[in-house]
Amino acid sequence: MKKLRVFCGYSNTGGIAYKIAEGLRKNNIAADSVVISEHNFSYPYHMKINFAGEGDTVLNKLLKYYYFIKHALTYNVFIFNTRSTLLSRKWDLKILKLLGKKTAMIYVGCDIRDKYHYVKSPDKYTVCKNCTDDYQRKIGCVMEHKLKETETIQKYIDVSFSHPFDAMILKGKYKYLYLLLDLENYVPEYSLNSKIKIVYAPSDDGIKGTKYVVAAIENLKAAGIDFEFELLRNKSHSEIITSIKNADILIDQMVAGWYGLISIEAMALGKTVVCYIRDKLYDYLPDLPIVNLNPDNLAEGLKLLIQNKDELVTKGRAGRAFVEKYHDYIKNSAQMLEIILNSN
């Protein structure tokens, strides 16, 4: 193979395209993150495609083919995410396969989650049971479309990466996804505030279980527990990170059953993280140091953490060690590329 050049894009959910590209650059591999649009949280990227205004005009369609040809001539490995490619009907994947390019797709959650399974699940708390119609419209959660598009992607892609609880429709054809974090940009701070501060930054109230978090906080306040709480809304990524640095506890996902990127960031900063964790996740990560609470015991669990401050320092140090072990972007990006290059 000629000199290796890696494309990461066109979506940048959670800054994932940028972090993979940056991680590969740290491994002395030429890589770029290329995006179509800015992310709501202002995640960084290397290059942005420029179109002629809004809409799927004839000119913009021609520009899509121009950019695709340019990228096909520039890169020999393509790492896409969240089902996002550039051309309609996934023609870019079909052409890249004909050209002998190595390709991968990273799935991160709602892009492939089996809504019907989780709505019908006997589990008391699931993402889909708490998801709103507005959010489903926003992300295009139409199960029939999701199944059809994923089937096409899986037909032409070399490797898929996913979290196991989201991967049901992939029928076992995926590699475990460890989210990546640029750890050198997250300096841990283990000292505690004189009054324990809790922060919570939901990207969506429904799928994050915000109503349960608010109810638990109100119960604690009514019980006279002394603490501070900050609900972070409409903040940039950098503003959220600053708030986490100044806090002691982060509450993350209360209905998903696993942890998200913000949990990893908080652990990297030495903070105690509270999530609802499904038992099966411990089969993959037995040393997960997150405090496992659900909507039923969240208030009581937070009360114990507030009243036992020494445990917060222990959890904070364990969290930092955990993300260094599992979520280092330099190590994980290299492993991801190796899997892609060795795929048949």
Sign of the CA dihedral running 167, 290, 278, 261: negative
pLDDT of residue 78: 98
Structure tokens at 6: 């890696």
In the predicted structure, residue 10 carries a pLDDT above the cut 60: yes
Given CA atoms 253, 18, 248, 210 in this order, what sign does their dihedral have? negative
Q: Which domains does the chain have, with CATH numbers?
A: 5-180+328-341 (3.40.50), 183-326 (3.40.50.2000)
CB 25 within 8 A of CB 33: no
Q: Provide mean pLDDT across the span 29-33.
A: 98
Q: What's the pLDDT tens digit per position in 170-196? A: 988 999 999 999 999 999 999 999 999
116-140 burial code (b ≥16 CB/10 A, e <16)? eebeeeeeebbbbbbbeeebbeeee
Quote the tokens at residue 95: 């052409």
One-letter amino acid at 337 equals L
The radius of gyration of the chain from alpha carbons, rounded to an integer in Å, stands at 21
Question: What DSSP character marks residue 296?
Answer: T
Which residue from 260, 268, 250, 108 is spatially nearest to 189, judged by alpha carbons? 268
What percent of the chain clears pLDDT 70, i.e. is strictly above it? 99
| Neighbouring-strand partners of residue 162 | 176
Is the distance from CB of 26 to CB of 35 less than 8 angstroms?
Answer: no
* Residue 327 DSSP SS3: coil
Q: How many CA atoms lie within 13 A of 252 on its CB side?
A: 24
Beta-bridge partners for 32: 7
pLDDT band at residue 1 using 50, 70 and 90 as cut-offs: very low
